[in-house]
Chain A
Amino acid sequence: MDKPKHNLKVLEFLLRNLVSVDDRENLAGDFEEMYDRIYHQKGKARAVFWYFFQVIILFPVCMKNDLYWSLTMIKNYLKTAFRNIKKFKSYSFINIFGMAMGMACCILIVLFVQDELSFDRYHDKADRIVRLVDGFDVKGGLSRYYALSSAPFAPRLKKEFPEVEETVRIFPGRGRMVEYEEKKFYEDYLFFADASLFKVFTFPLIKGDPETALISPHTIVVSEKIARKYFGSKDPLNKILTINNQDYLVTGVMKEVPENSHFFANLFASLKTLEQIPSIKKRYFQSWARHEFYTYLLLQESTSVEKLEAKLPGFIERHAAAQIKSILGGKLYSRLQPLTSIHLHSHLQAELEPNGDIKYVTIFSVIALFVLLIACVNFINLATARSFNRSKEVGLRKVVGATRYQIVKQFLSESLLFTVMALGLSLVLVIAAFPFFNSLTGKEIGLNLFNRFFLMGSLFLILVFVGVLSASYPAFFISRYQPAQVLRQHKKTGSQSSFLRKSLVVFQFSISIVLIISTVVVLNQLDFLRNRKLGFDKEHVVVIPIRSHNIRSNAEAIKSELMQNPNVLSSTVTIGVPGGVVAGDAIQLVTEDGKKTLSLDMIYTDHDYIKTMGMEIIEGRDFSKQMSTDATQAFIINEAAVRKLELEEPLETRFEWGDKRGKVIGVVKDFQFQSLRNEINPLVIHVWLQNTFVFAVRVRPDNIPQTLEFLKTKWKELDPAHPFDYSFMDETFDQIYKGEEKLGQVFSSFSFLAIFIACLGLFGLSIFMVETRTKEIGIRKILGASAGNIMLLLSKKFTLLVLTANLIAWPAAYVVMRKWLQSFAYRIPMEPWIFVLSGFIALIVALWTISFQAVKAAFTDPVKTLRYE
C-alpha cells in the first residue's frame, strides 16, 4: 500500500493537544490508519473532512478531562503557595504589602483620572456641544484669548448656519444676595441663562417645565439644595425669591449639577430679565464688542467642528469686524471648543472655574505606574533571590513528570495568588487613604465608584498586569532548572540571576531618586514663588467686597472715617487687588505718527491704591489729591509697559481712554498682579471709581481682631442690607499657587511611597544576603573581623548600586524638571546641590534599611552560626 502524502499537521497538532498524554500515541496512529483507508476508498477530501470531524467531536470530552486535571494541579499549586507564604513570613509580607501599596496608588490614580476624564460627559448631547470663545488680536502684537463671547453671536449664528441646532448664552451673576422672607445669603453660583439652556445641557428638572421655565423675564430655576435652603419643606414652585431687590418667580427645581462639570451652578435666572432692560440691552446685547457671555452651541449630528470654525472669520467680517475695529481697535478671532475638552485642555482668560490640566493627569498616571513597577520589581527580586529554596521542589516536580510549561503555570498562579491578596489589602488601604486623597486633589470622589465598570476593568487589568509581570521572570528562570543538577548539588543557584537583580535594584532607586529630585525642585520653586519680591506688600490687607453703590459713591468720606482708628493705616477702593480681578481694555497711545490702539491690563482705582498696596514708584509721582487733574488726566504705568511699548520718555507719554485724555505721571515698579507663571504684563492704573468692586484696608499687624471688629461695626452702619464679609489679601493671593502646591504634595507623597516600597525590597534582599552568608560572616569573625568590617562588607554592594542609580537618575530628572520649570516665567536654577542632596537622601535611607540586618549579622555570636554543619 503506498503511503498517501498528507498534510494533516494542524489537525494532528490539535488532536495531540486535546487527548491526554497516555492515549496520544496510539490514538493518533488509529486515526491515521483510518484516514488512510478512507483516503484510498473515497478520496482525499472525504478523508480530511473525516479527520477534521473526529477532532471536533473529541473537543467536549477532552476539554472536560483537561479541566479536571488542571483544577487538581491548581489545588496543589495553591497548597504549595500557602505553605511557602507561611514558611517565609517576612518575604511574603514584604511582597504583599509592597504590592498592595503600589496597587493602592494605582487605584487612587485610576479614580482620579476617571473623574477628570468624565467631566461634562453626563450631558446627553455632550459630543455635539461646543463653546464659542474669542481671541482678540491687537496691532501691537498683544493678543489675548477669552472663554467669552459677545451676545449677538448666538442668535445670529443660529439664524445663518443650519449646522447650529440650538444655542445658549450664560452670564455669571455671582455673589448676589438672594432673599426669601427672613433668609438672606450670598449665592456664588447664580447664572443668567437663555431659555434654551435645558435643550442644550442635561440638567434634569424635578419640577417645572424645561421648555418654558426660563422664557419670561424674572423667572428662576433653583437646585434641590437651594430649594431646601430657602423654602424648607414647602413647595418651591411659584414662590418669589428676591435678588438684589428684584423679584424672581421660581418656575422649576433641577437636580444638583454634578461635581464633574466645568462650571457649577445652583440657580439659573432667565437672561430675558437682563435683556428687557433697555440700557443693558443696548450696551450688552446689541454690541459685538462686549465680551461678557459664555456661549454654547449645540450642533446638528455629524457636523464637522473644523468646517464650521472655518466659516467663522467670514461671519465676523460680515457682522462684527467694523464695530470691533472702531471700539476696540483690533481683530477678533473665534474658536470652537468641544465641551468635553474644556476641563482638561482649556486655559483661557476668564474661565468659569479653574480647570484641570491634562498635564497633571499624565504626571499622576506615570508616577503611579512607576510606583507599581517598583513593587513588581520587589516581587521579581525576592522570588529569584530565594529561588534556591524552591529549586528542590521544582526538581522533584520535574522528576515526577512536570513539564516546563506546568512549572511556569505554577509560578504564575502563585504570583496571581499574591496579587489577589495584595489587591484585597490595597482596597483597605484605598479606603483608608480616601480622605487624604480627596483633600490632595480637591475632589469629592466617593466609594460608590467601586461599582463602576471602568474601575472594575482597571482593577482586573492591574491584577493581571502585576501578576504576570511579577511572575514572568521567576517562572522563566526557575523552570529552567535541570532536575539532576539541583537535586544532586547542595549549593545555591540563586547567584546566577544576581546581575538582573542588581539592575532591577538600580532601576528602583533611579525612579525613587528622580521622584525625590522632582519633589525638591517643585517645593523649592514653590517656595521661590511665594517669597519672590512681589512688588507689593501682601500681608495685613483686609479686602471687603463692595455690595452697595452707596459705599462706592461715598468712598472718600468712608476712608477718612476709617482713618480715625489708629489701627487703620490706609485704604483704597479698586477693581481688584493683586491676584484678583484686573480689567483688560482698549486704550489709545498718542504718538507723533498718530493714535495707536492697544489692549492693556488696567486697574481702576482711587488715589490711594499704590500707597495702600505698598508699591514703589520709580519714576515720577503717585496720584495725589492735591492735584485736581489726577482724577481726570493722569495715568500710572508699570515698568513692563515702559519696556514692551518701548517708551523712551515714559513721563511724556500721552494716553486716551474713552473721554479721558492725559499723561503718564509715574512709573510703578513691576508688581505681580497675576500668577507668577506668567510674565508681568504691561499695566495701566488710573483713577476711575465706577468699576470698583473691593475696598482694601491696610491695617496695623497688631490688634487685628479688634480692627476687624471695628470694620464690621462700621460696615453695618454703612451697608446694613448686606452681611459683612472679608478676606485677607495674602490668603487669596496664595490661592494662585494651588495647582503647584498640589503638585508638590503629590510628588512628596509619591516619592515617599516609592522609596518606602523600594526599601521594603532592599530589606528583603538584605535578609536573604545575610542568610546566605551566615557562615562566611562567622568565619570572618573568628579570623578577627570587627563588627564594623562586617557591616562595611554587607553594605558595600548596595551602596554601589544606589550610587549607580544616581548616575541614571540625575540626567533623567534634569531633563524632566527643566521642562517643567520652563512653564514658569520666573524660576529657580537647577543647582547641583539638589541632585547631590537627593542622591544622598536615597543612599542614607538605603543604608539605614540594610543596617538592620547588617548589625544583626555583625553581632551574632560566630559559635552559633558555625556549630552545625
Chain B
Amino acid sequence: MRNLTRKEELIMLSILHLKNKAYLVAIADHLSKVTKKKVSLTSVHLPLSRLEKKGLIDSEYGESTAVRGGRRKKVYQITRPGFEFLDETKRISDLLWKDYINLIAK
C-alpha cells in the first residue's frame, strides 16, 4: 500500500469535510482553522497535485466569482480509490489509536 504524508491525509479529510466546495483557498482555510496555524497556499498546492497524480482525488472546474477576477475554481473531490484508501487508513489508525486513553492513563 502507498503511503500518505500527514499533510496529504489532512488535505484529503478536509476535502471530505468541505464537500463540493473544496478548492485551494478553501482547503487552506479549513486546515488553518483546524490546526490553528497559518497554512500557505503553496504548501497545500503541491500535496494536492501529488494526490491527484496518485489518483486519490480528481478535480473539475467550478463556478467563477468576481473576487477571483472572473477565474474559475478548481474543485477537488475524492475518487473511489481515494475512499478505499481512506477506509484503509482509518482501519489502521483506529487499530493503533485503540485504548489510547487507557494506555496513557497508566
| A33 near B74: Cβ-Cβ < 8 Å | no
Q: How many residues of chain A have a CB within 8 Å of chain B?
A: 18
Whether A34 touches B25, Cβ cut-off 8 Å, given contacts A26-B73, A28-B71, A54-B41, is: yes
Interface string of A299-336 (1 = CB under 8 A from B): 00000000000000000000000000000000000000
| B23 near A30: Cβ-Cβ < 8 Å | yes
Interface string of B33-55 (1 = CB under 8 A from A): 00000001110011001000000
Residue A61 is within 8 A (CB to CB) of chain B in the complex: yes
| B25 near A57: Cβ-Cβ < 8 Å | no
| A1 near B67: Cβ-Cβ < 8 Å | yes
Whether A29 touches B64, Cβ cut-off 8 Å, given contacts A34-B25, A34-B41, A61-B46, is: yes
Residue A27 is within 8 A (CB to CB) of chain B in the complex: yes
Whether A57 touches B42, Cβ cut-off 8 Å, given contacts A1-B67, A26-B24, is: yes
Interface residue from A32, A57, A61 paired with B68 (Cβ < 8 Å): A32
Interface string of A31-56 (1 = CB under 8 A from B): 11110100000000000000000100
**Bound form: Cα–Cα A36–B68 in Å:** 8
**Bound form: Cα–Cα A257–B51 in Å:** 72
Residue of B nearest to A1 (CB): B67
Interface residue from B41, B49, B66 paired with A30 (Cβ < 8 Å): B41
Whether A31 touches B41, Cβ cut-off 8 Å, given contacts A26-B71, A26-B73, A26-B74, is: yes
Residue A234 is within 8 A (CB to CB) of chain B in the complex: no
Q: Which residues of A contact B40 (CB under 8 A)?
A: 54
Interface string of A163-180 (1 = CB under 8 A from B): 000000000000000000
| B72 near A29: Cβ-Cβ < 8 Å | yes
Residues 6 to 41 of chain A near chain B (Cβ within 8 Å): 23, 25-34, 36
| A29 near B69: Cβ-Cβ < 8 Å | yes
B53 CB to closest chain A CB (Å) equals 12
Residue B83 is within 8 A (CB to CB) of chain A in the complex: no
**Bound form: Cα–Cα A336–B42 in Å:** 69
Residue A3 is within 8 A (CB to CB) of chain B in the complex: yes
**Bound form: Cα–Cα A391–B61 in Å:** 36
**Bound form: Cα–Cα A36–B66 in Å:** 11
Residues 56 to 92 of chain B near chain A (Cβ within 8 Å): 61, 64-69, 71-74
> At the interface, is chain A mostly helix, strand, loop or mixed?
helix
A188 CB to closest chain B CB (Å) equals 78
Q: Which residues of B contact A23 (CB under 8 A)?
A: 49, 74
Q: Which residues of A contact B41 (CB under 8 A)?
A: 30-31, 34, 54
Q: Which residues of B contact A28 (CB under 8 A)?
A: 69, 71
Whether A30 touches B25, Cβ cut-off 8 Å, given contacts A25-B72, A58-B42, A61-B46, is: yes
B97 CB to closest chain A CB (Å) equals 34
Interface residue from A29, A31, A57 paired with B73 (Cβ < 8 Å): A29
Looking at A3, A25, A30, A31, the one whose CB has the most chain B CB atoms below 10 A away is A30
| A32 near B71: Cβ-Cβ < 8 Å | yes
A7 CB to closest chain B CB (Å) equals 13
Q: Which residues of B contact A25 (CB under 8 A)?
A: 61, 71-72, 74
B70 CB to closest chain A CB (Å) equals 8
A59 CB to closest chain B CB (Å) equals 11
**Bound form: Cα–Cα A27–B41 in Å:** 10
Looking at A1, A27, A32, A33, the one whose CB has the most chain B CB atoms below 10 A away is A33
**Bound form: Cα–Cα A28–B41 in Å:** 12
Query: Assuming A25-B72, A27-B24, A28-B69, what are 16 further A-B pairs, CB within 8 angstroms?
Result: A3-B66, A25-B61, A25-B71, A26-B23, A26-B72, A26-B73, A28-B71, A29-B71, A30-B23, A30-B73, A30-B74, A32-B67, A32-B68, A32-B69, A54-B42, A61-B46
- Can you offer 6 A-B residue contacts whose CB atoms are under 8 A? A29-B64, A30-B24, A32-B69, A33-B25, A34-B41, A36-B67
Q: Which residues of A line the B interface, CB within 8 A?
A: 1, 3, 23, 25-34, 36, 54, 57-58, 61
Sort A-B residue pairs by CB-CB distance and give the 8 closest, nearest first: A29-B71, A26-B74, A29-B68, A30-B24, A32-B69, A33-B68, A33-B25, A36-B67
